[in-house]
Structures are given as structure tokens and as C-alpha cells.
A and B are shown apart, each in its own frame.
Chain A
């Protein structure tokens, strides 16, 4: 579930300022009781200062796979001078969760692809993928897309396209699915949010319309567990 309110005070002022600078006040700090860890991204992989981010307990990926994936989604949609990206949106968390449910069939592809990426980084650059600088990471990604890195099934381009699609889903879908944390994705593109009605005046305002920062499932009228019942009207 998305949390649109900050229900836990920041632990110290400096951390609060860091979150603020990343546009993240009320985001990661509001995550639920799941095991989390605060990590600092390698400053060499981004133009931004190190950003503390809480990570969620992994549901599918191994820790090593997840490190690579976190770095990969950050190169696809980077945190940069224009604001937070897929990393802050927790796109990797979305992917990890979806691989346990609706994207189960993609689990094997991630295992293979992330391993190849990391091994290629180690053998050609002497470091794991996630510890490389942004330009080295980008060079590897380009090689993967161009088909210069062997081992992908069916292709490096296919693997990258899949991760890119899932990164977009994880950044711009409803926060109900585990990504788009603190509505980072929707704010990034000026989407004013899910609502049950839009007046002509709302439409006229375009991206100037104040974002409402709610999940569809924060609207109490909507069924969450339709997947189990096959619809509200099917008591049988």
C-alpha cells in the first residue's frame, strides 16, 4: 500500500534535509514495518549527493541480483540534477514484488541477465556492476543493447527492453504495486494524480493542477481483492 502521509518523524535534521533535497519527505520514512536498511548510493554512479534510501525486504531476488538491479534502474531513469528517478521511486522493489506474482515468468530472465551484467562488469572493469561509475555502467548497458555481450536469452536488447518496461511500470504505476514511492514518478511528468472525476477547470489547468497524491486504492469505494473474487458481484 502507498502511504501518502508521513506518520513517522525523521530521526535527525540532517537526514530530513537530505530527504527534502531529494524531494522525498514523507516517502521512504513512512514505509511499513518490513525490514529496511538505510544505504548510501555510491556517489560516483550519480551526479547527486549520496541519498539515504530505505530498502524493503527482498521477496524474490537475491541480494546480489538486487544490487545490480538497483544500479541498472538508476541508469535507465537516473537520479540527477532534474530530480529523483527510478531508484527513489523504488522501481526495483516493484520489480522484485512483481516477479513473485504477475511477472513470475520473467524471473528466470532476470536471474540470467543480472548475472551476466555483473560478471561482465567484473571481468572487464574489475568491479561489480553496482560499484562502477555511471559512464562505465552506461557503456556496459550500451554493449548489452548492441548485442556485444553474449549469453542473453534471447538477446541483450530483449533483456534491457524488459527491464526498461518494468522500470517504467515501477516508477509510474499506482503505488499500490510497490513502486512510484511518494508519487515520485507522477510528479516527475506532471501527472496530477488519480481522481474519480475531472472537471473542465481541472483539465484546463494541465500540469498546474495540484497533485492529489493518492493511490486508486486509497479511494475507499474500490475493491482491492477483485483478483480473488473475480468481481464484487460474485458471491458464489
Chain B
């Protein structure tokens, strides 16, 4: 029997990007919150600039839970899924400790894909087997929460649209924002200036993207030092606005947050009436039962789905909040693949920089361009950035310049070109499809004996057409900047485990096709909220974290403001 603990107001499962934000509005409202986190505390001195540990071995000491429950993956439901890796980490602050920290708002189109597409091009343009729906609200509803997160977490950037006033220094395609970013964007670099100039020559509107990285002293944290180990690296001066360094300390300051580290949640418990009563977790060698009036589940898309499916009870024989069979549906991963690599005839000076220090082109993202004569909807954000480290440089492609990737000729090639290649980051609209879903693997289990998540997913024709279109645009941009060789990677197929996973607990008004309502609370279990990318019904063409955080803030605020009705 688990050890019973004293009841609390709210449990947050997972103190990462979502849970770490949700803790603040709840504790600020006076609610007692217990945050259960599978990882531990990390500090600046844990973040040595070490490419082997960060990028090759993937933080072996800080993936204690996720590495043991890596999902299995398959493209088609008639094949056997194979276990791959898990891209996330376990720590207070979660993967915001070592993420790229690009912090975009979604484009207004992403909230209304169905209605906007139908209105502009006709309903026939929605891919036939897609399960995409409009979000239950529009961009304007989320704007105040984007704003709160940008100022509280600490986001740098340059606005392109303040209350309808367009500024070409920023993204002219973004939705209207109520005010400027709290601090200026990361500095430019010789390479971003090269790419920026090339884009301007093409008549495009290049701009520096937003980042959860402080560029001036902010909230007691030091500005970015551009040391070059930001990609999957933590920040030694806390310039990266991880929730561990921003919202979680603020929540702790209220005196209402209790963080329990190294807690592995195994079940969310519900009573016969369908209400959630608390969670069971393993810590050390003991199982505990933590009772609560409300539970917010924020353990990332794969684990959110898994934990619900594992939490069977009399009220929920098919898994918690799953009496309509929607848990695990509408899964998708951002199509981050299909990049292209360019070789330049001169050094790019990219040894010191970071992936969030880049220049973006949004002309071909979302519905920013006319799709009338095209055979897809959505698009891609093109991102040229400065990330480079010794090993990643040497692993570069050799194009057709040398015939083999070993030996003296190859050595000469890497000596000359180690700082002369760049690989683009092209994020593309992905839609949900009926044939893509998460469930429990029938055979593969974690060390506790619980099945791991099984991914069944592949990109559709719409995604592949966007990928090809975007690669051609990126090639034009690189060529204009002086690239002498180009290599295009494959367009992608299977949706493996990634850091940009969506769906599984989709948000929507229709309880037949969505797991949570417009506020993020279960249509079935009234005091269960779900936070994270798993509630998002569209991917947008940009990194999800800021949207995840804005939604988490909104869900937490709604819980605090409606405490009696939700928990009674």
C-alpha cells in the first residue's frame, strides 16, 4: 500500500515548460501546490560546455525517467513499432534547461486553419483524412497570456506588429501584440547579417527571432554570453529563461509551492464519481499517494497520454478521461526535418553563437502567401542560425567536393570548411490525421513493468509538399547569400519521438473529438487539467514552447479563478 500523504490543493505532474509556468498563477492566488518532478535540481555549474555530454551522450545523468520509457515508433498500424530514443530531459525546469529557447507566438491562422482555409480556398483544400479542427478560440484570446509569459519568463525579440502598427524590423506577419518584447533580440552575427542582406535583396523581410534568452540583466539574471554550447546545453549564467530560473523561483517565493524531486508518477487516481482524488508516485523505494483537490498533468505529450491510459479505474475502464476513446488521437510531430545544408566559400564565424541567434523568413509560413495555385495548405518558417561546435562541424556532409569521408583528402576538406557550412532549420505546418495516434505498446515495458507509449505516425502528402516547397525557397536564399554547394535531405516519413510533439489530449469544445475543453480541463474528469503540447490541435510552423506556456498559464489561472466550481 502506498504511504498516504496530507492533502494539498493542486498537484502539478511535471515541473517543466508547462508545469513550471502553471505553478506561478496558482501559488500567487494562494493555492497550495505540490510539484512532482522526475528529475532533480540543476544549477549553472552543472552546465559545462561539453559537446560529448550534451550532444553525443544526451545528458545521461538527467534523463533518469524519460530514457527508460522511450516510445516505440512505427509509420503504419500493420507493422511492429521499434523503440527509439527520447528527446527530453528530467529536471526541475524540464527540457527548458537545454532547449533552443526559440519562443514564438503562433500565427493567427494556426488557430483557425479550417475556417480560414475554407473561406479563402474552399473546404476541399483541407486534406481529406485530416482530423484538424479550429481551435476553440482565436489568437486574440491567447494574446494576453503570451504577453504575461514573455514578460514573466523573460523573452527577447523585436515586435513586428504592435496593435496593428507594422514594424519591418520584426515579423510583419505576426498577430497583433499589445506591446514590444521586454528586451531587445539577441545580437546579429556576421552570418545572420549575410543571410539578412541576401533576403533583403530578394525582396523579403528578414528578422531576428524571439528567444527565451535574456539579452540584458533581467530579473536578477545575467545576459547571454554567446559561448556556443546552448544547443542541448544548459546556461551557466542562467541567461536561458528556463522555468527553473524564472517562474519556479517566483512560485517558491510565495511559500505555496512544494517541489518533490525524483518523483515518478505512476497513476492518477479517480473515484467512482469520476473525480480525480490524487496521484500515486514512486520515490526511492517507496510508493506514495498524494491526495489533492485538482491535478494538472504536464509531463509532455508522450507521458501525458501514457499516464492517462495507465490510470484505469471503475469510472474510466479505458484510461482516465478516455471514455470517448480520444486519448492518444490527433497526434502529430512538427515536421522539423527535411533541412538543407549549404557550403560557402569563406568562413562564416559561427563557432560562438546559439541556435536562437538567427534570422527568419516568414513569407512562406502559414497562410502568409497565396495558396490558390498550390496543392497544399500551410507552409514553413525558414531559419538560418549560428549554431556550431567542433564535432558537429566535422560530421558535416562533404557534398561532392571529396569522394569519401575519411582519409587525407577528407581531412583537408574539414580543415578548410569546418566553419563554412550551415544547415537550415525549416519548421513546417503539420496536420493531424486519423491514422496517426499514440497508444500503449503491447510488448515493450519500462523497468517498472508499465507499457511504454507507442507512436503510429507518418507525414501526409500535405506535409511532404510543404517540405519540398520550403527546401527550394531555402536553396534560393542560400544561393543569394553566396552558397557554392547545396545538399537537400530527404523529405521525411515517420513521425518519431521529437521535442515538438502535439496531440493526444486535444483541446476543443466537442467532447466527442477532444479530451480537454477550451480551458484545458477534461470533458470527463472535471478537476483534471492537462497542460503541454498535447492539447494543441495544430502545430504552426514554429517552436511550440511559448504557446504551451501561454496555454498553461491560462489553464492555471482558470483553475484559480473557478476553484469552487471545478473542485466541488
Which A positions have Cβ atoms within 8 angstroms of B?
A: 75-78, 80, 82, 85, 102, 138, 141, 164-165, 168-169, 171-174, 176-177, 185-186, 188-192, 194-200, 202-207, 216-217, 219, 221-224, 226-227, 230-234, 236
Hey, which chain A residues are within 8 Å of B44, CB to CB?
Answer: 221
Hey, which chain B residues are within 8 Å of A189, CB to CB?
Answer: 390, 393-394, 414-415, 418-419
Hey, which chain B residues are within 8 Å of A177, CB to CB?
Answer: 52
Hey, which chain A residues are within 8 Å of B349, CB to CB?
Answer: 203-206
Tell me the minimal C-beta distance from B5 to chain A in angstroms: 17
Q: Are A188 and B51 in contact (CB under 8 A)?
A: no
Hey, which chain B residues are within 8 Å of A226, CB to CB?
Answer: 46, 61
Which 9 pairs across A and B sit closest by C-beta, in order of nearness? A233-B41, A198-B352, A189-B418, A197-B225, A222-B48, A234-B40, A172-B390, A216-B48, A231-B42
The one of B45, B226, B262 in contact with A222, judged by C-beta atoms closer than 8 angstroms, is: B45
Residue among B39, B61, B91 with the highest chain A CB neighbour number at 10 A? B61
Taking CB as reference atom, which chain A residue is nearest B405? A164
Q: Are A76 and B52 in contact (CB under 8 A)?
A: no
Given contacts A169-B391, A203-B190, A233-B40, contact A223 B415 (CB under 8 A): no
Hey, which chain A residues are within 8 Å of B56, CB to CB?
Answer: 169, 173
Hey, which chain A residues are within 8 Å of B347, CB to CB?
Answer: 190, 206-207
Q: Are A82 and B49 in contact (CB under 8 A)?
A: no
- Is B227 part of the binding interface, using a Cβ–Cβ cutoff of 8 Å? yes
Q: Are B406 and A191 in contact (CB under 8 A)?
A: no
> 18 more A-B contacts (CB under 8 A) besides A172-B393, A189-B419?
A80-B411, A82-B411, A82-B415, A168-B395, A190-B347, A194-B227, A196-B236, A197-B225, A198-B225, A203-B226, A203-B349, A204-B190, A219-B48, A222-B236, A227-B60, A230-B39, A233-B41, A233-B42
Taking CB as reference atom, which chain A residue is nearest B64? A230
Q: Are A198 and B228 in contact (CB under 8 A)?
A: yes
Hey, which chain B residues are within 8 Å of A141, CB to CB?
Answer: 406
- Is B187 part of the binding interface, using a Cβ–Cβ cutoff of 8 Å? yes
Tell me the minimal C-beta distance from B274 to chain A in angstroms: 37
Interface flags, B466-492, vs A, CB<8A=1, else 0: 000000000000000000000000000
Tell me the minimal C-beta distance from B228 to chain A in angstroms: 7
Taking CB as reference atom, which chain A residue is nearest B188? A200
Q: Are B412 and A202 in contact (CB under 8 A)?
A: no
Interface residues on B, range: 35 or more
Q: Are B187 and A174 in contact (CB under 8 A)?
A: no
Q: Are A78 and B411 in contact (CB under 8 A)?
A: yes
Taking CB as reference atom, which chain B residue is nearest A208? B347
Tell me the minimal C-beta distance from B234 to chain A in angstroms: 10
Q: Are A221 and B45 in contact (CB under 8 A)?
A: yes
- Is B47 part of the binding interface, using a Cβ–Cβ cutoff of 8 Å? yes
Hey, which chain B residues are within 8 Å of A78, CB to CB?
Answer: 407-408, 411
Which B positions have Cβ atoms within 8 angstroms of A?
A: 39-52, 56-57, 60-62, 64, 91, 187, 189-190, 225-229, 236, 261-262, 347, 349, 351-353, 390-391, 393-395, 405-408, 410-412, 414-415, 418-419
Taking CB as reference atom, which chain A residue is nearest B406? A76
Hey, which chain A residues are within 8 Å of B351, CB to CB?
Answer: 191-192, 198, 203, 206
Tell me the minimal C-beta distance from A66 to chain B in angstroms: 20
| Bound complex: CA A190 to CA B351 (Å) | 9
Residue among A75, A85, A169, A207 with the highest chain B CB neighbour number at 10 A? A169
| Bound complex: CA A195 to CA B419 (Å) | 17
Q: Are A75 and B52 in contact (CB under 8 A)?
A: no
| Bound complex: CA A222 to CA B422 (Å) | 30
Give the interface SS of chain B, mostly helix, strand, loop or mixed.
loop
8 contacts between A and B (CB under 8 A): A78-B408, A82-B415, A189-B414, A191-B418, A194-B229, A197-B227, A217-B50, A231-B41
Tell me the minimal C-beta distance from A49 to chain B in angstroms: 16
Tell me the minimal C-beta distance from A235 to chain B in angstroms: 9
Q: Are A85 and B418 in contact (CB under 8 A)?
A: no
Tell me the minimal C-beta distance from B94 to chain A in angstroms: 13
Given contacts A232-B43, A234-B40, contact A227 B61 (CB under 8 A): yes
Given contacts A78-B408, A141-B406, A177-B52, contact A168 B353 (CB under 8 A): no
Residue among B43, B347, B391 with the highest chain A CB neighbour number at 10 A? B391
Hey, which chain B residues are within 8 Å of A174, CB to CB?
Answer: 50-52
Tell me the minimal C-beta distance from A193 to chain B in angstroms: 9
Tell me the minimal C-beta distance from B426 to chain A in angstroms: 25
Hey, which chain B residues are within 8 Å of A227, CB to CB?
Answer: 60-61
Hey, which chain A residues are within 8 Å of B227, CB to CB?
Answer: 194-198
Given contacts A78-B408, A200-B187, A204-B349, contact A230 B62 (CB under 8 A): yes
| Bound complex: CA A185 to CA B390 (Å) | 8
Tell me the minimal C-beta distance from A41 to chain B in angstroms: 15
Hey, which chain B residues are within 8 Å of A75, CB to CB?
Answer: 406-407
Q: Are B52 and A168 in contact (CB under 8 A)?
A: no
Hey, which chain A residues are within 8 Å of B405, CB to CB?
Answer: 164
The one of A165, A194, A223, A236 in contact with B49, judged by C-beta atoms closer than 8 angstroms, is: A194
| Bound complex: CA A69 to CA B56 (Å) | 21
| Bound complex: CA A141 to CA B405 (Å) | 12
The one of B40, B45, B52, B410 in contact with A173, judged by C-beta atoms closer than 8 angstroms, is: B52
Hey, which chain A residues are within 8 Å of B262, CB to CB?
Answer: 234
Hey, which chain A residues are within 8 Å of B46, CB to CB?
Answer: 222-223, 226, 231-232
Q: Are A102 and B51 in contact (CB under 8 A)?
A: no
Hey, which chain A residues are within 8 Å of B414, CB to CB?
Answer: 188-189
Q: Are B45 and A176 in contact (CB under 8 A)?
A: no
Q: Are A223 and B190 in contact (CB under 8 A)?
A: no
| Bound complex: CA A169 to CA B353 (Å) | 21
Hey, which chain A residues are within 8 Å of B410, CB to CB?
Answer: 77
Q: Are B391 and A168 in contact (CB under 8 A)?
A: yes
Q: Are B226 and A198 in contact (CB under 8 A)?
A: yes
Q: Are B419 and A206 in contact (CB under 8 A)?
A: yes
Residue among B50, B393, B405 with the highest chain A CB neighbour number at 10 A? B50
Taking CB as reference atom, which chain A residue is nearest B390? A172
Given contacts A75-B407, A206-B419, A207-B419, contact A230 B49 (CB under 8 A): no
Given contacts A168-B394, A172-B390, A191-B390, contact A203 B407 (CB under 8 A): no
Taking CB as reference atom, which chain A residue is nearest B187? A200
| Bound complex: CA A141 to CA B407 (Å) | 11
The one of A82, A165, A176, A232 in contact with B42, judged by C-beta atoms closer than 8 angstroms, is: A232
Hey, which chain B residues are within 8 Å of A138, CB to CB?
Answer: 407
